[in-house]
Amino acid sequence: MSWLLRFFSSSIGKKLIMALTGLFLCSFLVVHMIGNTQLFYADQGLAFNKYAVIMTSNPLIEIISIGLYFFILLHTVQGLLLAYKNRQARPVGYAKFNNSSRWQSRNMAILGTIILVFLVVHMSRFWYQYRFDYVPYKKYVENIQTGQMVSTQAMAESYAVKRRIVEDLDETTGHKVTIVRDLYKEVEVAFQNLPLVLLYVLSMVALAYHLVHGFQSGFQTLGLNHPKYNPLVRWVGVGLFAILIPAVFAAMPIYFYVKSLG
Amino acid sequence: MAEGHSADNMTLTLKVWRQKNRNTEGRFVTYTLGGVSPDMSFLEMVDILNTQLIERNEEPIAFDHDCREGICGSCAMYINGRPHGPKQVTACQLHMRSFNDGDTITIEPWRAAAFPIIKDLSVDRSAFDRIVAAGGYISINTGNAQDANSTPVPKEAADEAFMAAACIGCGACVAACKNASAMLFVSAKISQLALLPQGQAERRIRAEKMVAQMDEEGFGACSNTGACSAECPKGISMTNIARMNREYYGAKLKSTNV
Protein backbone atom coordinates (compact mmCIF):
# COMPACT_ATOMS: atom_id res chain seq x y z
CA MET A 1 0.00 0.00 0.00
CA SER A 2 2.91 2.36 0.50
CA TRP A 3 3.05 2.94 -3.25
CA LEU A 4 -0.53 4.21 -3.16
CA LEU A 5 0.22 6.60 -0.29
CA ARG A 6 3.33 7.80 -2.08
CA PHE A 7 1.25 8.31 -5.22
CA PHE A 8 -1.40 10.44 -3.49
CA SER A 9 1.24 12.50 -1.69
CA SER A 10 3.14 13.25 -4.92
CA SER A 11 2.46 16.56 -6.65
CA ILE A 12 0.68 14.79 -9.53
CA GLY A 13 -1.32 12.54 -7.16
CA LYS A 14 -2.53 15.58 -5.23
CA LYS A 15 -3.62 17.23 -8.45
CA LEU A 16 -5.46 14.04 -9.46
CA ILE A 17 -7.50 14.28 -6.25
CA MET A 18 -8.34 17.91 -7.09
CA ALA A 19 -9.37 16.95 -10.62
CA LEU A 20 -11.52 13.94 -9.69
CA THR A 21 -13.30 15.64 -6.78
CA GLY A 22 -13.71 18.85 -8.79
CA LEU A 23 -15.29 17.08 -11.75
CA PHE A 24 -17.58 15.12 -9.40
CA LEU A 25 -18.72 18.41 -7.86
CA CYS A 26 -19.37 19.69 -11.40
CA SER A 27 -21.70 16.76 -12.02
CA PHE A 28 -23.50 17.59 -8.77
CA LEU A 29 -24.00 21.17 -9.96
CA VAL A 30 -25.86 19.90 -13.05
CA VAL A 31 -28.27 17.83 -10.93
CA HIS A 32 -28.71 20.60 -8.37
CA MET A 33 -29.44 23.18 -11.06
CA ILE A 34 -31.97 21.03 -12.92
CA GLY A 35 -33.77 20.17 -9.66
CA ASN A 36 -33.86 23.73 -8.46
CA THR A 37 -35.38 25.11 -11.66
CA GLN A 38 -38.63 23.78 -10.09
CA LEU A 39 -38.48 26.96 -7.97
CA PHE A 40 -39.62 28.78 -11.12
CA TYR A 41 -42.83 26.64 -11.48
CA ALA A 42 -46.06 28.55 -10.86
CA ASP A 43 -47.39 25.88 -8.48
CA GLN A 44 -46.76 27.64 -5.19
CA GLY A 45 -43.79 25.37 -4.56
CA LEU A 46 -45.47 21.95 -4.66
CA ALA A 47 -43.06 20.36 -7.15
CA PHE A 48 -40.01 21.86 -5.41
CA ASN A 49 -41.19 20.74 -1.96
CA LYS A 50 -41.83 17.19 -3.20
CA TYR A 51 -38.39 17.20 -4.85
CA ALA A 52 -36.80 18.25 -1.53
CA VAL A 53 -38.43 15.22 0.12
CA ILE A 54 -36.99 12.84 -2.48
CA MET A 55 -33.54 14.39 -2.22
CA THR A 56 -33.44 13.84 1.54
CA SER A 57 -35.09 10.43 1.80
CA ASN A 58 -34.08 8.27 -1.18
CA PRO A 59 -31.41 5.86 0.16
CA LEU A 60 -29.31 5.98 -3.04
CA ILE A 61 -29.30 9.78 -3.00
CA GLU A 62 -28.45 9.71 0.71
CA ILE A 63 -25.37 7.59 0.00
CA ILE A 64 -24.29 9.85 -2.87
CA SER A 65 -24.77 12.94 -0.69
CA ILE A 66 -22.45 11.53 1.97
CA GLY A 67 -19.89 11.17 -0.81
CA LEU A 68 -20.65 14.72 -1.87
CA TYR A 69 -19.97 16.18 1.60
CA PHE A 70 -16.76 14.17 1.79
CA PHE A 71 -15.59 15.35 -1.64
CA ILE A 72 -16.38 18.99 -0.83
CA LEU A 73 -14.18 18.68 2.26
CA LEU A 74 -11.44 16.80 0.41
CA HIS A 75 -11.41 19.32 -2.45
CA THR A 76 -11.25 22.21 0.05
CA VAL A 77 -8.54 20.78 2.30
CA GLN A 78 -6.41 19.47 -0.55
CA GLY A 79 -6.80 22.75 -2.45
CA LEU A 80 -5.68 24.83 0.52
CA LEU A 81 -2.74 22.49 1.23
CA LEU A 82 -1.65 22.69 -2.42
CA ALA A 83 -1.93 26.48 -2.43
CA TYR A 84 0.23 26.61 0.69
CA LYS A 85 2.81 24.20 -0.73
CA ASN A 86 2.91 26.04 -4.05
CA ARG A 87 3.61 29.29 -2.22
CA GLN A 88 6.53 27.64 -0.44
CA ALA A 89 8.05 26.77 -3.81
CA ARG A 90 8.70 30.50 -4.31
CA PRO A 91 9.63 32.02 -0.93
CA VAL A 92 10.90 35.28 -2.48
CA GLY A 93 8.61 36.77 -5.10
CA TYR A 94 9.36 39.04 -8.04
CA ALA A 95 9.41 42.82 -7.80
CA LYS A 96 7.83 43.03 -11.22
CA PHE A 97 5.40 40.36 -12.39
CA ASN A 98 3.84 40.41 -15.87
CA ASN A 99 2.36 36.97 -16.02
CA SER A 100 1.18 35.63 -19.34
CA SER A 101 -1.64 33.54 -17.88
CA ARG A 102 -5.26 34.21 -17.06
CA TRP A 103 -6.17 35.78 -13.73
CA GLN A 104 -8.61 33.05 -12.72
CA SER A 105 -6.04 30.30 -13.32
CA ARG A 106 -3.70 31.95 -10.80
CA ASN A 107 -6.40 32.66 -8.23
CA MET A 108 -8.29 29.39 -7.93
CA ALA A 109 -7.66 29.26 -4.18
CA ILE A 110 -9.14 32.73 -3.62
CA LEU A 111 -12.16 31.93 -5.81
CA GLY A 112 -12.54 28.60 -4.00
CA THR A 113 -12.45 30.35 -0.63
CA ILE A 114 -15.29 32.67 -1.72
CA ILE A 115 -17.26 29.60 -2.78
CA LEU A 116 -16.49 27.95 0.58
CA VAL A 117 -17.86 30.96 2.50
CA PHE A 118 -20.93 30.82 0.28
CA LEU A 119 -21.38 27.10 0.96
CA VAL A 120 -21.28 27.64 4.73
CA VAL A 121 -23.96 30.37 4.49
CA HIS A 122 -26.02 28.40 1.96
CA MET A 123 -25.97 25.11 3.83
CA SER A 124 -26.68 26.64 7.24
CA ARG A 125 -29.55 28.63 5.71
CA PHE A 126 -31.30 25.79 3.86
CA TRP A 127 -29.64 22.40 4.24
CA TYR A 128 -29.26 22.53 8.04
CA GLN A 129 -32.67 24.07 8.56
CA TYR A 130 -34.45 21.50 6.41
CA ARG A 131 -32.68 18.52 7.92
CA PHE A 132 -32.31 19.46 11.56
CA ASP A 133 -34.46 22.47 12.27
CA TYR A 134 -38.15 23.38 12.07
CA VAL A 135 -39.76 23.95 8.67
CA PRO A 136 -43.55 24.52 8.63
CA TYR A 137 -45.88 22.31 6.59
CA LYS A 138 -48.17 23.35 3.78
CA LYS A 139 -51.28 21.63 2.51
CA TYR A 140 -51.93 21.51 -1.24
CA VAL A 141 -55.28 20.29 -2.64
CA GLU A 142 -55.26 19.38 -6.33
CA ASN A 143 -58.01 18.16 -8.62
CA ILE A 144 -56.46 15.11 -10.27
CA GLN A 145 -58.84 15.22 -13.25
CA THR A 146 -58.05 18.78 -14.29
CA GLY A 147 -54.64 19.05 -12.63
CA GLN A 148 -55.78 22.39 -11.18
CA MET A 149 -54.77 23.52 -7.69
CA VAL A 150 -57.98 23.75 -5.70
CA SER A 151 -56.54 25.34 -2.56
CA THR A 152 -53.41 25.71 -0.50
CA GLN A 153 -53.06 26.31 3.20
CA ALA A 154 -50.10 26.86 5.50
CA MET A 155 -50.32 24.46 8.42
CA ALA A 156 -50.21 25.78 11.95
CA GLU A 157 -46.90 25.56 13.78
CA SER A 158 -48.41 22.92 16.04
CA TYR A 159 -48.78 20.59 13.04
CA ALA A 160 -45.95 18.10 13.12
CA VAL A 161 -45.72 14.59 11.72
CA LYS A 162 -42.76 12.23 11.59
CA ARG A 163 -42.79 12.08 7.81
CA ARG A 164 -41.77 14.97 5.61
CA ILE A 165 -44.72 14.36 3.28
CA VAL A 166 -48.26 13.01 3.64
CA GLU A 167 -50.24 12.26 0.47
CA ASP A 168 -53.90 11.31 0.41
CA LEU A 169 -56.42 10.78 -2.40
CA ASP A 170 -60.08 11.54 -1.75
CA GLU A 171 -61.91 9.36 -4.35
CA THR A 172 -65.32 10.95 -3.85
CA THR A 173 -64.19 14.49 -4.64
CA GLY A 174 -61.30 13.50 -6.89
CA HIS A 175 -58.99 15.70 -4.86
CA LYS A 176 -55.42 14.85 -4.01
CA VAL A 177 -54.22 16.28 -0.71
CA THR A 178 -50.48 16.73 -0.15
CA ILE A 179 -49.09 17.98 3.14
CA VAL A 180 -45.38 18.64 2.80
CA ARG A 181 -42.66 20.64 4.54
CA ASP A 182 -42.59 24.05 2.86
CA LEU A 183 -38.94 24.64 1.94
CA TYR A 184 -40.18 26.82 -0.91
CA LYS A 185 -41.51 29.31 1.63
CA GLU A 186 -38.10 29.38 3.35
CA VAL A 187 -36.44 30.17 0.03
CA GLU A 188 -39.02 32.84 -0.73
CA VAL A 189 -38.49 34.54 2.65
CA ALA A 190 -34.70 34.25 2.58
CA PHE A 191 -34.37 35.97 -0.78
CA GLN A 192 -36.32 39.03 0.33
CA ASN A 193 -33.05 39.96 2.03
CA LEU A 194 -30.96 42.07 -0.35
CA PRO A 195 -27.50 41.43 1.22
CA LEU A 196 -28.13 37.68 0.96
CA VAL A 197 -29.20 38.02 -2.68
CA LEU A 198 -26.04 40.00 -3.42
CA LEU A 199 -23.88 37.38 -1.67
CA TYR A 200 -25.47 34.67 -3.83
CA VAL A 201 -24.97 36.59 -7.08
CA LEU A 202 -21.35 37.47 -6.21
CA SER A 203 -20.64 33.85 -5.28
CA MET A 204 -22.01 32.68 -8.62
CA VAL A 205 -19.61 35.08 -10.38
CA ALA A 206 -16.77 33.50 -8.35
CA LEU A 207 -18.09 30.05 -9.30
CA ALA A 208 -18.12 31.01 -12.98
CA TYR A 209 -14.48 32.12 -12.87
CA HIS A 210 -13.53 29.05 -10.82
CA LEU A 211 -15.09 26.72 -13.39
CA VAL A 212 -13.92 28.48 -16.55
CA HIS A 213 -10.44 27.35 -15.52
CA GLY A 214 -11.25 24.39 -13.27
CA PHE A 215 -13.26 22.26 -15.69
CA GLN A 216 -10.62 22.31 -18.43
CA SER A 217 -7.78 22.09 -15.93
CA GLY A 218 -9.33 18.90 -14.48
CA PHE A 219 -9.17 17.19 -17.86
CA GLN A 220 -5.56 18.30 -18.40
CA THR A 221 -4.60 16.88 -14.99
CA LEU A 222 -6.29 13.58 -15.86
CA GLY A 223 -3.99 13.52 -18.90
CA LEU A 224 -6.92 14.02 -21.27
CA ASN A 225 -5.51 16.53 -23.71
CA HIS A 226 -6.36 15.60 -27.27
CA PRO A 227 -6.89 17.82 -30.31
CA LYS A 228 -10.07 15.91 -31.19
CA TYR A 229 -11.79 16.39 -27.83
CA ASN A 230 -10.24 19.62 -26.50
CA PRO A 231 -12.83 21.84 -28.26
CA LEU A 232 -15.66 19.84 -26.64
CA VAL A 233 -14.10 20.15 -23.18
CA ARG A 234 -13.61 23.87 -23.77
CA TRP A 235 -17.19 24.44 -24.92
CA VAL A 236 -18.76 22.42 -22.12
CA GLY A 237 -16.47 24.09 -19.57
CA VAL A 238 -17.23 27.62 -20.72
CA GLY A 239 -20.79 27.33 -22.06
CA LEU A 240 -22.34 24.99 -19.50
CA PHE A 241 -20.23 25.32 -16.36
CA ALA A 242 -18.98 28.90 -16.51
CA ILE A 243 -22.02 30.57 -18.08
CA LEU A 244 -25.28 28.61 -18.00
CA ILE A 245 -25.11 26.98 -14.56
CA PRO A 246 -23.95 30.06 -12.57
CA ALA A 247 -26.47 32.22 -14.48
CA VAL A 248 -29.42 29.91 -13.69
CA PHE A 249 -28.38 29.69 -10.03
CA ALA A 250 -27.98 33.48 -9.81
CA ALA A 251 -31.43 33.91 -11.41
CA MET A 252 -33.08 32.15 -8.44
CA PRO A 253 -32.35 34.73 -5.69
CA ILE A 254 -32.93 37.55 -8.19
CA TYR A 255 -36.31 36.04 -9.19
CA PHE A 256 -37.52 35.84 -5.57
CA TYR A 257 -36.18 39.28 -4.68
CA VAL A 258 -37.95 40.90 -7.64
CA LYS A 259 -41.11 38.93 -6.81
CA SER A 260 -40.99 40.22 -3.22
CA LEU A 261 -40.96 43.80 -4.48
CA GLY A 262 -44.45 43.08 -5.80
CA MET B 1 30.31 58.25 -23.38
CA ALA B 2 28.06 60.85 -24.97
CA GLU B 3 24.54 61.25 -23.64
CA GLY B 4 22.21 60.80 -26.54
CA HIS B 5 18.58 60.10 -27.16
CA SER B 6 18.59 59.27 -30.84
CA ALA B 7 17.23 55.93 -31.99
CA ASP B 8 20.76 54.50 -32.37
CA ASN B 9 21.91 55.60 -28.97
CA MET B 10 19.58 54.67 -26.14
CA THR B 11 19.89 55.59 -22.49
CA LEU B 12 18.35 53.14 -20.06
CA THR B 13 17.71 52.92 -16.34
CA LEU B 14 18.50 49.43 -15.11
CA LYS B 15 17.20 48.12 -11.80
CA VAL B 16 19.36 45.08 -11.19
CA TRP B 17 19.15 42.55 -8.34
CA ARG B 18 22.50 42.42 -6.56
CA GLN B 19 23.19 39.71 -4.02
CA LYS B 20 26.64 38.71 -2.82
CA ASN B 21 25.85 35.07 -2.16
CA ARG B 22 22.99 32.83 -1.12
CA ASN B 23 23.43 33.67 2.56
CA THR B 24 23.32 37.45 2.32
CA GLU B 25 20.36 39.72 1.72
CA GLY B 26 20.02 41.04 -1.79
CA ARG B 27 18.72 44.38 -3.02
CA PHE B 28 18.03 46.31 -6.20
CA VAL B 29 20.74 48.65 -7.45
CA THR B 30 19.83 51.22 -10.09
CA TYR B 31 22.25 51.99 -12.91
CA THR B 32 21.97 54.45 -15.77
CA LEU B 33 23.51 53.21 -18.98
CA GLY B 34 23.94 55.37 -22.08
CA GLY B 35 25.21 54.57 -25.55
CA VAL B 36 23.12 51.44 -25.96
CA SER B 37 22.66 50.41 -29.58
CA PRO B 38 19.30 48.88 -30.60
CA ASP B 39 21.24 46.15 -32.40
CA MET B 40 22.92 44.88 -29.25
CA SER B 41 21.67 41.74 -27.61
CA PHE B 42 20.46 42.07 -24.03
CA LEU B 43 23.58 40.26 -22.79
CA GLU B 44 25.87 42.59 -24.75
CA MET B 45 24.12 45.50 -23.05
CA VAL B 46 24.88 43.93 -19.64
CA ASP B 47 28.49 43.31 -20.82
CA ILE B 48 28.87 47.05 -21.45
CA LEU B 49 27.48 47.88 -18.03
CA ASN B 50 29.89 45.35 -16.48
CA THR B 51 32.84 46.89 -18.33
CA GLN B 52 31.92 50.26 -16.87
CA LEU B 53 31.55 48.74 -13.40
CA ILE B 54 34.98 47.12 -13.66
CA GLU B 55 36.48 50.43 -14.81
CA ARG B 56 34.93 52.09 -11.77
CA ASN B 57 36.40 49.33 -9.57
CA GLU B 58 32.95 47.98 -8.73
CA GLU B 59 31.89 44.35 -8.67
CA PRO B 60 30.46 43.36 -12.09
CA ILE B 61 27.01 41.76 -12.26
CA ALA B 62 27.22 37.97 -12.21
CA PHE B 63 25.00 36.30 -14.82
CA ASP B 64 25.07 32.96 -16.64
CA HIS B 65 25.75 32.85 -20.36
CA ASP B 66 27.40 30.46 -22.74
CA CYS B 67 26.48 29.89 -26.38
CA ARG B 68 24.82 33.26 -27.05
CA GLU B 69 22.91 31.67 -29.91
CA GLY B 70 19.76 30.63 -28.09
CA ILE B 71 20.44 26.92 -27.64
CA CYS B 72 22.28 26.41 -24.35
CA GLY B 73 19.67 27.79 -21.94
CA SER B 74 22.19 29.49 -19.66
CA CYS B 75 21.07 33.11 -19.72
CA ALA B 76 18.51 33.12 -16.93
CA MET B 77 17.19 36.64 -16.39
CA TYR B 78 13.73 37.77 -15.34
CA ILE B 79 13.35 40.97 -17.36
CA ASN B 80 10.48 43.39 -16.71
CA GLY B 81 8.30 40.74 -15.07
CA ARG B 82 8.85 37.99 -17.65
CA PRO B 83 11.48 35.27 -18.05
CA HIS B 84 13.91 36.41 -20.75
CA GLY B 85 11.92 39.62 -21.26
CA PRO B 86 9.16 40.65 -23.66
CA LYS B 87 9.92 38.27 -26.57
CA GLN B 88 9.55 34.51 -26.39
CA VAL B 89 13.32 34.02 -26.89
CA THR B 90 16.33 33.56 -24.64
CA ALA B 91 17.97 36.74 -23.25
CA CYS B 92 20.91 36.39 -25.66
CA GLN B 93 18.46 36.49 -28.60
CA LEU B 94 16.60 39.49 -27.18
CA HIS B 95 17.71 42.73 -28.82
CA MET B 96 17.67 46.19 -27.36
CA ARG B 97 15.35 47.30 -30.18
CA SER B 98 12.61 45.61 -28.15
CA PHE B 99 12.97 48.51 -25.68
CA ASN B 100 12.63 52.25 -25.98
CA ASP B 101 15.08 55.00 -25.20
CA GLY B 102 14.54 56.13 -21.61
CA ASP B 103 12.96 52.84 -20.44
CA THR B 104 13.45 51.48 -16.96
CA ILE B 105 14.25 47.78 -17.08
CA THR B 106 13.96 45.58 -14.00
CA ILE B 107 16.30 42.57 -14.05
CA GLU B 108 15.79 39.82 -11.45
CA PRO B 109 17.09 36.27 -11.03
CA TRP B 110 14.82 33.21 -11.43
CA ARG B 111 12.85 32.96 -8.19
CA ALA B 112 12.30 29.44 -6.89
CA ALA B 113 13.10 27.58 -3.69
CA ALA B 114 14.63 24.86 -5.88
CA PHE B 115 16.89 27.40 -7.67
CA PRO B 116 18.93 29.03 -4.88
CA ILE B 117 20.76 32.21 -5.81
CA ILE B 118 24.54 31.81 -6.25
CA LYS B 119 25.26 35.47 -6.89
CA ASP B 120 23.31 38.38 -8.41
CA LEU B 121 21.41 36.95 -11.40
CA SER B 122 23.09 33.57 -11.32
CA VAL B 123 21.02 30.74 -9.80
CA ASP B 124 21.85 27.10 -9.09
CA ARG B 125 19.83 25.01 -11.55
CA SER B 126 21.45 21.69 -10.66
CA ALA B 127 18.01 20.49 -9.50
CA PHE B 128 17.27 19.97 -13.22
CA ASP B 129 20.43 17.86 -13.58
CA ARG B 130 19.39 15.69 -10.63
CA ILE B 131 15.92 15.15 -12.15
CA VAL B 132 17.46 14.00 -15.43
CA ALA B 133 19.99 11.86 -13.56
CA ALA B 134 17.09 10.17 -11.75
CA GLY B 135 15.82 8.58 -14.97
CA GLY B 136 15.92 10.86 -17.99
CA TYR B 137 18.12 8.56 -20.01
CA ILE B 138 18.17 5.19 -21.81
CA SER B 139 20.41 2.43 -20.48
CA ILE B 140 22.11 0.52 -23.29
CA ASN B 141 25.01 -1.86 -23.47
CA THR B 142 27.34 -0.05 -25.78
CA GLY B 143 29.04 -1.96 -28.54
CA ASN B 144 29.48 -1.14 -32.17
CA ALA B 145 27.31 1.69 -33.42
CA GLN B 146 23.99 0.40 -34.77
CA ASP B 147 22.97 0.89 -38.33
CA ALA B 148 21.07 4.19 -38.53
CA ASN B 149 17.74 2.71 -39.58
CA SER B 150 17.71 -0.54 -37.63
CA THR B 151 15.02 0.79 -35.28
CA PRO B 152 12.20 2.19 -37.40
CA VAL B 153 10.46 5.28 -35.93
CA PRO B 154 7.33 6.68 -37.57
CA LYS B 155 7.73 10.26 -38.77
CA GLU B 156 4.92 11.55 -36.54
CA ALA B 157 6.47 10.05 -33.39
CA ALA B 158 9.92 11.31 -34.34
CA ASP B 159 8.56 14.83 -34.88
CA GLU B 160 6.71 14.87 -31.58
CA ALA B 161 9.71 13.50 -29.69
CA PHE B 162 11.88 16.12 -31.35
CA MET B 163 9.53 18.93 -30.33
CA ALA B 164 9.85 17.77 -26.70
CA ALA B 165 13.62 17.34 -27.08
CA ALA B 166 13.89 20.99 -28.14
CA CYS B 167 13.79 21.85 -24.41
CA ILE B 168 17.09 23.52 -23.48
CA GLY B 169 16.54 23.29 -19.72
CA CYS B 170 16.74 27.06 -19.22
CA GLY B 171 14.21 27.08 -16.40
CA ALA B 172 11.97 29.81 -17.85
CA CYS B 173 8.98 27.53 -17.15
CA VAL B 174 9.85 27.44 -13.44
CA ALA B 175 10.50 31.19 -13.42
CA ALA B 176 7.18 31.95 -15.13
CA CYS B 177 5.02 29.58 -13.09
CA LYS B 178 3.25 31.09 -10.09
CA ASN B 179 4.03 27.83 -8.26
CA ALA B 180 7.64 27.60 -9.48
CA SER B 181 6.63 24.23 -10.91
CA ALA B 182 9.06 22.27 -13.08
CA MET B 183 6.39 20.17 -14.78
CA LEU B 184 6.91 21.55 -18.29
CA PHE B 185 10.62 20.73 -18.12
CA VAL B 186 10.13 17.28 -16.58
CA SER B 187 7.28 16.44 -18.97
CA ALA B 188 9.44 17.37 -21.98
CA LYS B 189 12.25 15.13 -20.72
CA ILE B 190 9.82 12.25 -20.06
CA SER B 191 8.03 12.74 -23.41
CA GLN B 192 11.12 12.79 -25.63
CA LEU B 193 11.89 9.22 -24.50
CA ALA B 194 8.34 7.90 -24.00
CA LEU B 195 7.54 8.63 -27.65
CA LEU B 196 10.46 6.61 -29.05
CA PRO B 197 10.91 2.81 -29.22
CA GLN B 198 14.28 3.06 -27.47
CA GLY B 199 12.62 4.61 -24.42
CA GLN B 200 10.02 1.88 -23.86
CA ALA B 201 11.96 -0.54 -21.64
CA GLU B 202 12.48 2.01 -18.83
CA ARG B 203 9.31 3.97 -19.45
CA ARG B 204 7.55 3.30 -16.13
CA ILE B 205 10.48 3.51 -13.77
CA ARG B 206 11.60 6.69 -15.55
CA ALA B 207 8.29 8.50 -14.93
CA GLU B 208 8.21 7.38 -11.30
CA LYS B 209 11.78 8.36 -10.51
CA MET B 210 11.82 11.69 -12.34
CA VAL B 211 8.56 12.87 -10.75
CA ALA B 212 9.78 11.75 -7.31
CA GLN B 213 13.01 13.71 -7.79
CA MET B 214 11.06 16.75 -9.01
CA ASP B 215 8.98 16.72 -5.79
CA GLU B 216 12.09 16.15 -3.71
CA GLU B 217 13.71 19.30 -5.12
CA GLY B 218 10.85 21.47 -3.84
CA PHE B 219 9.21 22.56 -7.10
CA GLY B 220 5.50 23.39 -6.88
CA ALA B 221 2.57 21.51 -8.41
CA CYS B 222 0.95 22.39 -11.74
CA SER B 223 -2.08 24.72 -11.77
CA ASN B 224 -2.40 24.47 -15.57
CA THR B 225 -2.13 28.25 -15.95
CA GLY B 226 -0.13 27.82 -19.16
CA ALA B 227 2.40 30.57 -18.28
CA CYS B 228 5.27 28.06 -18.70
CA SER B 229 4.45 27.21 -22.28
CA ALA B 230 3.68 30.86 -23.15
CA GLU B 231 7.15 31.90 -21.93
CA CYS B 232 9.14 28.86 -23.14
CA PRO B 233 11.74 30.04 -25.69
CA LYS B 234 11.36 26.67 -27.45
CA GLY B 235 7.54 26.64 -27.35
CA ILE B 236 7.26 23.34 -25.46
CA SER B 237 3.56 22.46 -25.39
CA MET B 238 1.31 21.77 -22.39
CA THR B 239 0.33 18.49 -24.07
CA ASN B 240 3.61 17.18 -22.67
CA ILE B 241 2.34 17.76 -19.12
CA ALA B 242 -0.82 15.78 -19.91
CA ARG B 243 1.40 13.01 -21.32
CA MET B 244 3.60 13.05 -18.21
CA ASN B 245 0.49 12.70 -16.05
CA ARG B 246 -0.62 9.68 -18.12
CA GLU B 247 2.87 8.18 -17.95
CA TYR B 248 2.93 8.67 -14.19
CA TYR B 249 -0.55 7.18 -13.60
CA GLY B 250 0.34 4.22 -15.82
CA ALA B 251 3.66 3.76 -14.05
CA LYS B 252 2.06 3.88 -10.60
CA LEU B 253 -0.59 1.34 -11.62
CA LYS B 254 1.66 -1.11 -13.43
CA SER B 255 5.22 -0.83 -12.16
CA THR B 256 6.51 -3.49 -9.78
CA ASN B 257 7.71 -0.80 -7.34
CA VAL B 258 5.61 -1.46 -4.24
DSSP bridge partners of A152? A140
Residue to test with chain B: of A216, A225, A228, A234, most B Cβ within 10 A: A225
Tell me, what's the ipTM? 0.91
CATH 3.40.190.10 fits B125-138+152-254, yes or no: no
Contact call for A98 and B114, based on CB within 8 A? no
Task: State in words which class domain B10-118 has.
Answer: alpha beta
Q: CA torsion sign, B154 to B156 to B162 to B164?
A: negative
Residue-range domain boundaries for chain A = 2-91+109-135+185-260, 137-181
Q: Where are the beta strands (DSSP E) in A111-232?
A: 137-143, 149-154, 165-170, 175-181
Query: By the CB < 8 Å criterion, does A108 face chain B?
Result: yes
What count of other Cβ atoms lies within 10 Å of the Cβ of residue A12? 25
Q: What is the pLDDT of residue A147?
A: 83
Write out chain A residues lying below 8 Å of B176, CB-based: 99-100
Query: By the CB < 8 Å criterion, does B111 face chain A?
Result: yes
Query: By the CB < 8 Å criterion, does B113 face chain A?
Result: yes
Chain A residue with CA closest to B225: the answer is A105
Chain A residue with CA closest to B214: the answer is A11
Residues of chain A with pLDDT under 50: none
Q: What is the pLDDT of residue A173?
A: 86
Evaluate whether B10-118 and B125-138+152-254 have a shared fold.
Answer: no
Residue-range domain boundaries for chain B = 10-118, 125-138+152-254
What count of other Cβ atoms lies within 10 Å of the Cβ of residue A158? 5
pLDDT tens per residue across span A215-253 = 999 999 999 999 999 999 999 999 999 999 999 999 999
- What burial class does residue B164 get, using C-beta atoms within 10 Å of its C-beta: 0-12 exposed, 13-18 middle, 19+ buried? buried
Write out chain A residues lying below 8 Å of B28, CB-based: 95
What count of other Cβ atoms lies within 10 Å of the Cβ of residue A173? 12
What confidence category does residue B7 fall into, taking pLDDT thresholds of 50, 70 and 90? low
pLDDT tens per residue across span B20-33 = 999 999 999 999 99
At residue B6, does pLDDT exceed 60?
A: no
Write out chain B residues lying below 8 Å of A2, CB-based: 258
**Mean pLDDT (chain B, rounded):** 94
Contact call for A90 and B178, based on CB within 8 A? yes
Q: What is the pLDDT of residue B150?
A: 86
Query: By the CB < 8 Å criterion, does A98 face chain B?
Result: yes
Distance between CA atoms of A95 and A243, rounded to whole angstroms?
Answer: 35
Residue at A244: amino acid letter: L
Residue to test with chain B: of A86, A90, A104, A105, most B Cβ within 10 A: A90
pLDDT tens per residue across span B219-247 = 999 999 999 999 999 999 999 999 999 99
Contact call for B80 and A12, based on CB within 8 A? no
Q: What is the pLDDT of residue A1?
A: 66
Residues in chain B: 258
